[in-house]
Structure 1
Amino acid sequence: MHEARLYQKLEDNTVRCSLCAHRCTIKDGKHGICGVRINRGGTLYAATFGKVIAEAVDPIEKKPLYHFLPGSLSYSLGSVGCNFHCVHCQNWQISQQTLEMGGFRDISPEMGVERAIASGSASIAWTYNEPTIWHEYPLEMGAFARQKGLGTVYVTNGYITEEGLRDLAGMLTAFRVDIKSFSDAFYRKVCGGRLQPVLDATLLAKELGMHIETVTLVIPGQNDSMEEMEGLIRWVLENLGPDTPMHFTRFHPEYRMLDLWPTPVRTLEKIYERAKELGINYPYLGNVGGHPYESTYCPSCGNLIIERAGYAIRIRGLEGHSCTRCGGRIEYVSEIR
C-alpha cells in the first residue's frame, strides 16, 4: 500500500494523523475515523490510493460549480470512506462503505489524467466521497493534471487541517465546500464534526488562491432558520467576499434522515432573496430544476448572464467577463493558468 503523508509516529507503534481536523490517534492495526488510513506496524498507509469506486464525466455544474469553467466537463472520481458520518448523506452508498465492499478499479494518477484528456474534460474533480481522506492520490494526479493545463476540483466537506490544505496549494484550483450549517451543535449531532475547522479551512483556501463556492443543503427544522442562514451569509460576505457563489440546495429525505420532508421551495427563495439583500452577488438554488434562481444575473443591472436548467446552460449576456447590457464585470474562472 501507499504510505500516507502528514502523520507523526508515537510510542508503541501508534501514529497521529494530521490530515483532517479529527487528528486521529491510531493504534497499530487500526484505522482512523475515515476508515481508509490504516496503521500497520507504526506506519500510516493510504489504503485507497489509486482505488476508484466511481468514475464519470460530469458537467461542471453538477459539482455544483457555476463560476468555474462554466459549460465544461469535469472528469470525476470517487472512492469509499468519509471523515464525517452525516445521517442525511446523499452519497451514503459509497461514502459510508468500507474497504471490504470490493468493486474497485485501479486507476493510476497518470492514467487518470490521460482519461480526463481523452474525455474532453477541462478539469478533474475528486468527489462523490470526501477527497480529503484520499489526499495522496489527488495530490499526485493533480500535479500531472496541472502540467497538462487541466483544472483541479475538490468537492469537499472542508474538514481538512491547515497542513493538509497547504500541501495542496499550487495544485488545487477549486475548493467547492459544503458548509452544512452555521451551528456547531448541528455539526456535532448530525455530522460527527465541528463547524470552526470548516470555516478555518475555507478561509485558508481563499487565501491560498483557490476558487471558492459554498453549498448548504437546507434541511427543514434542522438548519433552515433565517437567523442561522443570515449568520452564514454574513460570514461569507465578511471573510470570502460578495462575489463568492453561494448555493442553497433543496433537501430530499435520504439515508437515516427519512422522517423529514423536502425543503419547501419558498423557504429556499426567501434565503436567496435575503442573500441578495445582504450583498451576495451570486446566490443560487439547487435541486429545483428549471427555477430562475439557478441562473446567473449581472449584479449591477440584473441582466440574465447565464441561463441554467439543471446542468444545461446557455450563455446569454456575457462577453468575456463583461455584462453585454451595462458592461459590469462578472467574476468567474474562464481559464486555468
Structure 2
Amino acid sequence: METDRFVGQWWHALPDGRIQCDLCQRDCRLHEGQRGACFVRMMDQGEMILTAWGRPSGLHVDPVEKKPLNHFYPGTSVLSFGTAGCNLTCKNCQNWEMTKSRDMELLSQRADPPEIVRVAKKTRCKSVAFTYNDPVIFAEFAIDTAIACHEAGLKSIAVTAGYIHPKPARELFSFIDATNVDLKGFSEEFYNKVTGGHLAPVLDLLCYIHHETDVWLEITTLLIPGLNDSEKEIAELSRWISTHLGPDVPLHFSAFHPDFRMLDLPPTPRETLSMGRKIAMDEGLRFVYTGNVHDPAGGTTFCPECRSPLIIRDWFSILSWNMDADGRCAVCHQKIPGRF
C-alpha cells in the first residue's frame, strides 16, 4: 500500500511560489518542504500533500458513549483512531502525545480504509470514529474511510473541535453520520488564549451541521476551573445552543483533569458539572449530561415529557433501557431525538 505521497485537497498556489492551505482558518502559507501548523499537511513538489493518509494512530474499540454520543445507537461499539498533529494548540490537551507528535512513524501504523473496515467488522463495531486528535486535519483520509464504511454497512463518526472552513466542512460532513463537536468555551478570549483559535467559526459550523445536514449532532464542553466554568458563561453558552440549535441537541459537560500545559489547575469538582447541567436545563436544553465523573443522574437519559429514566448509565456502561425499538419512551411514548 502506497501512503507516502497523497495529494490533498483545499489549497492553492501563491504568486510567490508558496502554497496556501484552505482547510482551516489558520490559512497556512508554506514554502517547499514546510509543514502547516497541524503538522500533517506539507508542501512537496509544489503541491499540498497529506502525510497522515493511511497512517492511523490508536485503533481502539470503544463504547460509543465515550465519544461522547448518548443518542447515537447507545450501547454499540466503535473502532476509534486518530493521527499525529492538530490544528489547535490547546494548553489543556488530554491527547497531547498524539496531537503534538512530530514523529509520524512513532505513533502510527499503516492501514488503508479497507483494512480499517475489516478490523471494525472483525471486532463487531457498528461505527468507525475519527477522534483523539481531530479529523479536520486528515479530512481526505476520513472521507475515504467513511466511504468504505458506508459500503460495508458501517456508520462514521467525527469527534472534532470544528475549526474548519465552510467548503471543506461541506465535503467532510456529507460523509459523516454523527459528530460530537467540542465547544471549548464561550468567549473569544478563552479561545484565543487557551486554544490558539477563534470562537465564531465553531459556532458557524454548529449551525451548519444542525440546520443543513442530516448528521446527528452532540456537543461537549470541558469545564476548566477558573477559565470557562462561571455561571454566566455556562448560561450564555446554553442559551446560545437553545436559541440557535434548539432544545434537543445533547450537551455534555465534561470534567477537566490537569494535563499538558495546565498542570497547575485543580480537577473540575463534580458539583461544577452538576451546576452546569442545571443551568443548561434551566435555559431550555432537554438532554444535558456530565462526563469524566461518577454521576449516574448526569449520565442518564430522561424522557423530557414524563421524566422517566430511559437509559441509565454509569460511566460508559448502560445499566437499564426503557425505550421501545422506535426510540420512544416506554412509559408515555414520547419520541426521543437521536438514532436508536
Q: TM-score range by the shorter chain?
A: over 0.9
Rounded Cα–Cα distance in structure 1 between residues aligned with 2:180 and 2:173: 15
Pick the aligned partner of 1:12 from 4, 13, 16.
16
Match of 1:111 in 2: 115
Matched, 1:234 2:239: yes
Match of 1:158 in 2: 162
**Which residue type is aligned with residue 64 of structure 1?**
P
Contact 1:126 1:154 in 2 (8 A): yes
* Structure 2 counterpart SS, 1:213: strand
- Structure 1 segments unaligned to the other structure (5+ residues): none
Rounded Cα–Cα distance in structure 2 between residues aligned with 1:12 and 1:111: 41
1:239-285, CA deviations, whole angstroms, 9 ceiling, x for partnerless residues?
21111000001111111101111112111111101111111110000
Contact 1:306 1:316 in 2 (8 A): yes
Matched, 1:287 2:289: no
* Structure 1 counterpart SS, 2:16: helix
**Which residue type is aligned with residue 132 of structure 2?**
Y
1:213-233, CA deviations, whole angstroms, 9 ceiling, x for partnerless residues?
000000110000111111111
Query: Structure 1 pair 99/4, CA: closer, same or farther in 2 (3 Å)?
Result: farther
Q: How does 1:211-226 map to 2 (within 5 A)?
A: 211-226=216-231
1:168-206, CA deviations, whole angstroms, 9 ceiling, x for partnerless residues?
243111121000000111111011100001111121112
Contact 1:60 1:66 in 2 (8 A): yes
Match of 2:186 in 1: 182
Match of 2:209 in 1: 205
Contact 1:298 1:304 in 2 (8 A): yes
Rounded Cα–Cα distance in structure 1 between residues aligned with 2:297 and 2:128: 28
Contact 1:214 1:247 in 2 (8 A): yes
Matched, 1:82 2:82: no
Rounded Cα–Cα distance in structure 1 between residues aligned with 2:334 and 2:44: 57
Runs of 4+ displaced beyond 3 Å:
none
Pick the aligned partner of 1:265 from 263, 266, 270.
270
Contact 2:296 2:312 in 1 (8 A): no
Contact 2:186 2:199 in 1 (8 A): yes
**Which residue type is aligned with residue 157 of structure 1?**
A
**Which residue type is aligned with residue 332 of structure 2?**
C
Structure 1 residue 126 displacement after superposition: 0.6
1:79-130, CA deviations, whole angstroms, 9 ceiling, x for partnerless residues?
1000011110011111111135524210011111111111101101011111
**TM-score under structure 2 normalisation?**
0.95
Contact 1:13 1:41 in 2 (8 A): no
**Which residue type is aligned with residue 159 of structure 1?**
Y
Contact 1:36 1:99 in 2 (8 A): no
Query: Structure 1 pair 100/312, CA: closer, same or farther in 2 (3 Å)?
Result: closer
* Higher alpha-carbon deviation: 311-320 or 216-225: 311-320
Query: Structure 1 pair 117/101, CA: closer, same or farther in 2 (3 Å)?
Result: closer
Pick the aligned partner of 1:61 from 57, 62, 65.
65
* Structure 1 counterpart SS, 2:129: strand
RMSD: 1.2
Match of 1:326 in 2: 332
Contact 2:249 2:285 in 1 (8 A): yes
**TM-score under structure 1 normalisation?**
0.96
How many residues align? The count is 334
Rounded Cα–Cα distance in structure 2 between residues aligned with 1:245 and 1:326: 21
Rounded Cα–Cα distance in structure 1 between residues aligned with 2:118 and 2:291: 31
Match of 1:278 in 2: 283
Rounded Cα–Cα distance in structure 1 between residues aligned with 2:280 and 2:173: 30
Rounded Cα–Cα distance in structure 1 between residues aligned with 2:215 and 2:61: 22
Pick the aligned partner of 1:2 from 3, 6, 13.
6
- Structure 2 segments unaligned to the other structure (5+ residues): none
Match of 2:27 in 1: 23
